[in-house]
């Protein structure tokens, strides 16, 4: 069994320094530590595509990744994420077709990105939760997807939908997870790995902070 991952980052040209630092550490760790002891080999390749069309960028990177015959997994990492060097290893060792991290949005009140299966509330990562939790969808900030999922889904994988009840648009992640589920692939949040990644905005949004007071203070300005 081989593990050959393509790390894909759609960029607007505003790559955070913490992303670069985190990626360098992850690559170094990957070169020294095997993900699966039984693997014959493992490899990592990085793709970055700059442009304002994030849906198009993601689609193009999926196409490019699938063109690599030995690619087994695609890891989406957004350019505003920070993460510990072990994050990829932890996700991969779950051995799931789709597994990713739950992280806070980088604007107050900093809700989490993952939505529960009933589509009634956001899944929260906190000190008393651990392990895996099935989700309806999550953000692509740090998300590992097996090749079989990408081969089973079809373009457009990342369209943006208009929601009249919201008078607004979805992000491009929701349609992908909906299509993947229709193809038989469930999506899971890894709460443990979610605790070693963070979202970089004007401040770093981490899983264990309470942003309620920050939101109140900003609203009073």
pLDDT (tens digit, 9 = 90+) per residue, 155-181? 999 999 888 887 888 889 999 999 999
pLDDT given for residue 148 in this prediction: 98
Task: State how far the Cα of 92 lies from the Cα of 216, in Å rounded to an integer.
Answer: 39
pLDDT value, residue 186: 98
Torsional sign, CA 46, 57, 201, 178: negative
CA dist list (Å): 141 to 69, 100, 117, 153, 157? 25, 8, 19, 20, 16
pLDDT value of residue 209: 84
Name residues of the chain where pLDDT drops below 70.
213-221
Q: Which residues contact 207 (CB under 8 A, 6 or more apart)?
A: 102, 103, 104, 125, 126, 194, 195, 198
pLDDT at 130: 98
Distance CA(157)–CA(177), nearest Å, equals 9
Cα 165 → chain centroid: 26
pTM tops 0.85: yes
Q: Residue 73 is encoded by which pair of tokens? A: 């997994």
How many residues can be counted in the chain?
A: 221
Residues whose CB falls within 8 Å of the CB of residue 16, separated by 6 or more in sequence, listed in order:
79, 80, 81, 82, 200
């Amino acid at each position: 069994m081989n593990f050959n991952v393509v790390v894909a980052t759609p960029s607007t040209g505003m790559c955070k320094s913490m992303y670069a630092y985190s990626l360098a550490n992850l690559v170094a760790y990957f070169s020294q530590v095997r993900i699966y002891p039984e693997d014959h080999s493992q490899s990592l390749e990085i793709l970055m595509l700059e442009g304002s069309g994030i849906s198009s960028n993601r689609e193009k990177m999926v196409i490019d990744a699938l063109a690599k015959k030995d690619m087994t997994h695609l890891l989406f990492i957004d350019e505003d994420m920070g993460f510990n060097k072990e994050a990829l290893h932890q996700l991969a060792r779950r051995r799931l077709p789709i597994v990713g991290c739950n992280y806070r949005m980088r604007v107050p009140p900093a809700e989490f990105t993952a939505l529960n299966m009933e589509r009634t509330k956001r899944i929260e990562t906190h000190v008393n939760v651990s392990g895996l939790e099935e989700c309806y969808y999550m953000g692509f900030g740090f998300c590992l997807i097996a090749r079989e999922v990408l081969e089973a889904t079809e373009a457009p994988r990342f369209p943006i939908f208009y929601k009249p009840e919201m008078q607004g648009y979805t992000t491009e992640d929701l349609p992908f997870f909906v299509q993947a589920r229709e193809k038989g692939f469930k999506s899971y949040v890894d709460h443990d790995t979610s605790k070693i990644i963070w979202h970089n905005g004007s401040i770093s949004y981490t899983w264990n902070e309470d942003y309620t007071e920050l939101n109140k203070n900003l609203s009073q300005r």
